[in-house]
């Protein structure tokens, strides 16, 4: 397919999005990531039955925590696509990068830069 | 188990607003089981607090430690070598934990990170319900194994009262009338006559009303068993 997608994204592979933990997402934000998204299998098609559904709930928890802190919850997102949807993968990457560009740098990094 | 709810992030942040280096101490007892103060919750709180403080340009250093139990002095003593390294400690144990810590480490400041609520159990994942009031004189066998002291809004020994409607307590539509359940259970087992006799006035001397309580087991003190 040789589709291109923004180079701003660092991909971390996990066997299943069920492996993604609340702490992984929080630590990424804490370390200055402008945004984090989880790309899981389509709902109902998890090889491990419910890994992607659990990941969605964890993403929702982190969004709630960020809201409480006063950081835009849109910086964290859950997407679902199958491994055969390469075009959708690139589209999601562009969508997320566009969203983060609109939001601007993470407020955490902004403060650190100022200091 | 003892059930607790975590305090809001904002409330906890406000407690240590002027601190730069703190310890969050979890407990592997009840609060781990009710998902509020175990290793996972301690780490999530630490990460959330660090994000919040970084956002405000006021970084905070947070270490985490999970004690075997915070209600035993031998385990509380386990942090004696590090507790002095921090400006404050947040305990995610039940209300017993920060008190044991405060009693042992008199120069340190301990903040409660949770609100301790009741003795109860999980009726389903994520839902805990009160089952025991710790009144000191258990008599649930008289009520089909269901405790009216803890579960009736009025702690009635003879019920139900006039506020019971369709199995629901008048105090809250989400609260079952435990007396309705007690009567139904007795009817199902054909032992309704067990409830005919009037239960006498309960002595509250063994409950909290008699002041703070103490349980002394001489045989353990003497080390015989």
Name which of B8, B10, B50 is nearest A30 (Cβ-Cβ): B50
Count CB neighbours of A16 within 10 A: 17
Domain coordinates of chain A in residue numbers?
Answer: 13-22+34-86
| Whether residue B84 has pLDDT greater than 70 | yes
| Inside any domain, residue B82 | yes
Region B166-185 average pLDDT: 96
Whether the Cβ atoms of residue A21 and residue A42 lie closer than 8 Å to each other: no
| Mean pLDDT of all residues in B178-195 | 96
Does the interface predicted TM-score (ipTM) exceed 0.90? yes
The residue with tokens 């507790």 is B83
* Domain-located, residue B126: no
pLDDT attached to residue A115: 46
A35–chain B nearest CA distance, Å: 13
| Chain position carrying tokens 């006799």 | B197
Contact A111 B54 (CB under 8 A): yes
Tell me, yes or no, whether B105 and B43 share the same domain: yes
Question: Would you give per-residue pLDDT tens digits along chain A (115 residues)?
Answer: 789 999 999 999 999 999 999 999 999 999 999 999 999 999 999 999 999 999 999 999 999 999 999 999 999 999 999 999 999 999 999 999 999 999 999 999 865 555 4
Instruction: Specify if B212 maps to a domain.
Output: no
Residue B171: count of CB within 10 angstroms of its CB: 12
Q: Does the N-terminal peptide bond of residue B160 adopt cis geometry, omega within 30 degrees of 0? A: yes
To which residue do tokens 């830069």 refer? A113
Q: Cβ distance B152 to B159 under 8 Å?
A: yes
Alpha-carbon gap: A95 to the closest alpha carbon of chain B (Å):
25
Which 8-state DSSP code applies to residue B84? Answer: G
Count of C-beta atoms within a 10 Å radius of residue B187: 12
Separation of alpha carbons B217 and B116, rounded Å:
26
Residues 6+ apart with CB under 8 A from A38: A17, A20, A25, A55, A59, A77, A78, A79
| Number of structural domains in chain B | 2
User: Chain A interface, mutation test: which of B43, B44, B47, most A Cβ atoms within 10 Å?
Assistant: B47
- pLDDT score for A111: 58
* Residue B216 located in a structural domain: no
From the CA of A83, how many Å to the nearest CA of chain B?
Answer: 31
Residue B217 lies in a domain: no
Indicate whether B27 and B108 sit together in one domain: yes
- A-B C-beta contacts closer than 8 Å: 44
- Taking an 8 Å Cβ-Cβ cutoff, which residues of chain A contact chain B? 22-23, 26-27, 29-30, 65-66, 68-71, 107-108, 111-112, 114-115
Same domain flag for B47 and B105? yes
Structure tokens at B44: 């999530």
Q: Which residues on chain B place their C-beta less than 8 Å from a C-beta of chain A?
A: 8-10, 40, 43-44, 47-48, 50-52, 54-57
Check whether residue B113 and residue B138 sit in a common domain. Answer: no
From chain B, pick out residues whose CB is under 8 angstroms from the CB of A27.
47
Across the interface, do A114 and B56 touch by the CB < 8 Å criterion? no
Domain of B20, in residue numbers? 2-118
Residues of A in contact with B38 (CB under 8 A): none
In this prediction the pTM is 0.93
CA dist B67 and A12 (Å) reads: 33
| DSSP 8-state secondary structure symbol assigned to residue A52 | H
Of the candidates B111, B105, B101, B122, the one whose C-alpha atom is nearest the C-alpha of residue B30 is B122
Condensed to tens digits (0 to 9), the pLDDT of residues B102-154 reads 999 999 999 999 999 999 999 999 999 999 999 999 999 999 999 999 999 99
* Chain A residue with minimum CA distance to B52: A69
Distance in angstroms between the alpha carbons of the first and the last residue of chain B: 25
| Domain closes at, from B87, B118, B149 | B118
Q: Do B47 and A107 touch (CB under 8 A)?
A: no
Mark yes or no for CB contact A22/B44 under 8 Å: yes
């Amino acid at each position: 397919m040789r589709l291109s997608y923004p180079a701003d994204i660092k991909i971390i592979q996990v066997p299943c999005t069920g492996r993604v933990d609340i702490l992984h997402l929080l630590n990424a934000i804490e370390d200055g990531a402008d945004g984090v998204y989880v790309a899981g299998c389509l709902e109902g098609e998890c090889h491990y039955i419910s890994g992607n559904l659990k990941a969605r709930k964890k993403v929702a928890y982190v969004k709630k925590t960020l809201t409480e802190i006063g950081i835009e919850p849109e910086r964290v997102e859950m997407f679902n696509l199958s491994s055969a949807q390469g075009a959708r993968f690139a589209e999601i990457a562009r969508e997320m990068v566009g969203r983060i560009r609109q939001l601007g740098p993470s407020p955490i990094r902004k403060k650190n830069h100022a200091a | 188990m003892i059930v607790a709810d975590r305090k809001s992030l904002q409330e906890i942040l406000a407690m240590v607003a002027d601190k730069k280096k703190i310890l969050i101490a979890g407990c592997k007892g009840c609060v781990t089981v009710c998902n509020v103060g175990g290793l996972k919750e301690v780490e999530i709180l630490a990460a959330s607090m660090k994000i919040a403080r970084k956002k405000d340009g006021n970084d905070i250093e947070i270490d985490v430690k999970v004690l075997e139990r915070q209600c035993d002095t031998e385990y509380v003593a386990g942090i004696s070598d590090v507790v002095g390294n921090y400006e404050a400690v947040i305990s995610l144990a039940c209300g017993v934990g920060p008190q044991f810590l405060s009693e042992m480490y008199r120069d340190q400041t301990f903040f409660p990170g949770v609100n301790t609520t009741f003795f109860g159990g999980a009726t389903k994942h994520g839902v805990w319900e009160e089952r025991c009031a710790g009144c000191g004189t258990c008599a649930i066998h008289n009520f089909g194994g269901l405790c009216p002291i803890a579960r009736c809004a009025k702690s009635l020994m003879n019920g139900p009262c006039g506020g019971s409607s369709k199995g629901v307590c008048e105090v809250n539509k989400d609260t079952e009338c435990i007396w309705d359940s007690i009567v139904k259970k007795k009817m199902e087992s054909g032992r309704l006559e067990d409830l005919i006799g009037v239960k006498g006035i309960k002595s509250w001397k063994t409950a909290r009303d008699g002041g703070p309580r103490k349980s002394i087991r001489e045989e353990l003190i003497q080390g015989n068993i």
